[in-house]
Amino acid sequence: MKRVLPGFGLSLGITLVYLGLLVLLPLSGLVFKSSALSFAQWWDIATGERALASLRVTFGASLLAATINAVFGLIVAWVLVRYSFPGKRLVDSLVDLPFALPTAVAGITLATLYAGNGWVGRYLEPLGIKVAFTPLGIVVALTFIGLPFVVRTLQPVIEDIEPEVEEAAATLGASRAQTFFRVLLPGIFPALLTGFTLAFSRAVGEYGSVIFIAGNMPLVSEITPLLIISKLEQYDIVGATALALLMLIISFLLLLGVNALQWWAAHRHHRLNGGAL
């Protein structure tokens, strides 16, 4: 088939080689390494009590953190795009801070802030809320590192929404809630999902910041990456790759699910707009 746009062969070749080297090669190494285990052995590791508990903590905290970020990240992005106020630039660059900060620094700082005698922790502790060294601490760390993913994904999309759309909705008699949920949100939703997915994926793999604030108690506040490191510390490299593979499979399935949701949302939006978008 003759294509109209030139450069397809070359650019596709580069894409495949690049992805192959960067993504597929390490991943296949992972699969290869863990193939030293029989399925029964792998299943044993995967369904061990501590492994299961750590998966619950990891994916649970990541989902929660990504959800928090989806809600508040949307507000932040909205404010940064729609309004102008003094210091907006500064606030805008603050959003990137979690990107730039080494994760261990973030973890240590958050642990110090939220510890019983920390600036924040000292006010929460009397209320019976313990953050540092509990699963809640994990959520805090993961929320911190995930924020820029949501905000930066949403900003360009919100910029694309013309204020006239809102005005039109208002003149046609839509309430504010209706304008938001029926007019604005459908356009933003796919990007919001992308941001959510990015924040979530980042959180699942996070190690550096979490271990300093988690407390790392088995069955309670132990994340799966910590168990992987634990196995590496015992030089059980095969066992470590087995857990890594397990995380990979779960993440892949979840991401597939989110992608499907996104596809569905995009299509619905498209249909509702009569194919005009």
Partner 1 sequence: MFASVRRVLLLSALAWSVSGFAQTGLLNVSYDVARDVYKDYNPLFQKYWKAKTGETVELRQSHGGSSKQVRSVADGLEADVVTMNQAPDVDFLVEKGLVVKDYAKRFPNNASPYTSTMVFIVRKGNPKGLKEWADLAAPGVQVILPHPKNTGNGRYTYLAAWGVALKQPGGNDKTAQEFVGKLLKNAPLFAAGGRDATTTFMQRRLGDVLVTFESEAELIAKEFGKGEFDVVYPSQSILAEFPVALVEKVVDKKGTRKLAQAYLEYLWSKEGQENAAQNYLRPRDPEVLKKYAAQFPPIRTFSVDEVFGGWAKATAAHFRDGGSFDQIYQVR
Footprint on residues 152-191 left by partner 1 (CB under 8 A):
none
Q: How far apart are the C-alpha atoms of 149 and 68, rounded to whole Å?
A: 12
Exposure of 160 by Cβ count < 10 A (0-12 exposed, 13-18 middle, 19+ buried)? exposed
Among 42, 59, 98, 118, binds partner 1 (CB under 8 A): 118
Q: Which is nearer to partner 1, 130 or 152 (CB)?
A: 130
Secondary-structure breakdown of the chain: helix, strand, coil percentages, each rounded to the nearest 5: 80, 0, 20
By the 8 A CB rule, do 189 and 269 touch?
yes
Of the candidate spans 61-69, 149-157, 210-218, 269-277, the one that interacts with partner 1 by CB under 8 A turns out to be 210-218
| Span from 84-92, 102-110, 152-160, 268-276 in contact with partner 1 (CB under 8 A) | 102-110
One of 57, 66, 111, 204 touching partner 1 (CB under 8 A): 111
Q: Which residues contact 262 (CB under 8 A, 6 or more apart)?
A: 190, 193, 194, 197
State how far the Cα of 32 lies from the Cα of 220, in Å rounded to an integer. 31
Residues 12-31 that bind partner 1 (CB under 8 A): none
What track of x and - describes contact with partner 1 for positions 35 through 74 (by CB under 8 A)? Answer: ----------x--xxx------------------------
Tell me, rounded to whole angstroms, the distance of Cα 138 from its chain centroid: 14
- The angle subtended at Cα 97 by Cα 91 and Cα 98, nearest 5°, is 130
Q: Give min distance, CB of 207 to partner 1, in A.
A: 7
List of residues contacting partner 1 (CB under 8 A)? 45, 48-50, 103-104, 107-108, 111-112, 115-118, 132-133, 207-208, 211-212, 214-219, 221, 226, 229-236, 239
